[in-house]
Every structure is written in C-alpha cells, then in structure tokens.
Amino acid sequence: MVRELQAAGARAWSLSLDVTEIESVIEFFRQARGVCGDIGHVVSAAGPAIPLCPLLEVEEADFRRIMNTDVLGAFNILRQAIPLLENRGGGSITMFVTTAVLRTLENDSMSSVPKTAVTGLVRLAAREAGPRNVRCNAVAPGVIDAGIVHGSFTVSDVARQVIGNCLDRTPMPRMGRPDEVAGLVDFLCSHAAAYINGQVIGIDGGYSA
C-alpha cells in the first residue's frame, strides 16, 4: 500500500506499533512527527481478528484480547493524539468502529461490544477536547468489500451467515467500497467538517436505518 501511494505521488511511510502498549504508541507518534512533521489529523483503523459466533461461545482469552486491543488501544491513542493536536492549535481524530454499534447483529458480539466502548471514548473525548479545537468522530462501516470480510467468508458457516444476514438487511443490495469509506474519512479531516464533533457516522448502505 505504501509503495502504491508513493507511486501515485503521495507522501506515505509505514511505522509499526502495538496500540496496547503506551510506550509503543508514544514512540509511534514521535517517529511520525519526525517523518511527517506537523500532524493535523489522526485516523485509527486498528482492530484485531475476531470470532464470529454466539456470545456464549466466545472464549475468555479472545474476549480479553479483543477488548484490550480495541478499548485500551483506543484509549492509548486518544491520550497521545489529543495533546499533540492541541499543542499545534487543533485538529481531528477519526476512529473506525462498526455499524454493529448502531444496530446489533447476532453472532457479532466481538465486533459490537468493544467498539461500543470505543464509541463512548470518542464521544467523551469530543466533549472534553472540543474546547481545545480538537474534534473526535467515529465512522461505522457495514460490510465493505475488503480486508476482514474476505477472510471471514472462508472461516466458518457462522461467519458467512453473519455477513449474509447483514447484507440481506441492507437496503442497498451490495457491499460498500473502500474508496467510499476513504471519502468519508477524508471529509471528516477537511475544513468542511470543522463543526462536526462527537458523531458516529454509519457508512453501511442503510443497514442501521
């Protein structure tokens, strides 16, 4: 992806981090500032692999791993990103959640439960950081023709059923496209969205309607 962006004329770098470790997040932002200079917008699309199964079949180890990555990870990012943006006069944070925070779906608890907690963090951060000109919003994608959706089709019958049920209940009868999600994120980072704060915006073809 980095090479594709660079080939298209964009500036792009790749740095690794562990969002569950605060020192790793601190070092990531330090390196990012060294490479990119001034940072005005932070987009977090972090998320672990999740089991698609009934809630009572989720293993405790999986529950802890996913909650740790999603919730503690979001907390760590917000802790570092908000002061960074405040010190440069403002900016925006956009976090990826899921349409399941707007309308739940059976066998999808490990998507909806942790991301609902992330949504709470986003809304609280929006209220507390807003006076410092730092906006915090979340995008909530539905079934997008990319990444985890492709992998889930090959995992199990339950995983295929979850995706199929979501699509069946979506008024627009297709998967979303990555460029459509990117367009929403680009808008939220733009001056045109300067008064949008504390919102969870579904991009799900109407699934959550």
CA angle 46, 50, 51 (to 5 degrees): 175
Provide the b/e sequence for 184-200 (b: ≥16 CB within 10 Å): bbeebbeeebeeebbbb
The closest alpha carbon to 52, from 206, 178, 156, belongs to 156
Mean pLDDT of the chain: 92
Using 50, 70 and 90 to split pLDDT, how confident is the model at 154? low
pLDDT at residue 109, rounded to an integer: 94
Tell me what pLDDT residue 4 has.
87
Domains and their CATH numbers in the chain: 40-203 (3.40.50.720)
Residue 197 has pLDDT above 90, yes or no: yes
Any idea which residue has 């994608």 for tokens? 141
For 89, other C-beta atoms within 10 Å of its C-beta total 11
Determine contact, residues 90/78, Cβ cutoff 8 Å. no
Phi (first) and psi of residue 134, to 5 degrees: -115, 115
- Note the pTM of the prediction, 2 decimals: 0.92
Q: How far apart are CA 166 and CA 184, in angstroms?
A: 21
The span from the CA of 19 to the CA of 73, in Å, is: 5
Q: Provide mean pLDDT across the span 170-174.
A: 92
Residue 177 has pLDDT above 70, yes or no: yes
Q: Find the mean pLDDT for residues 173-193.
A: 96
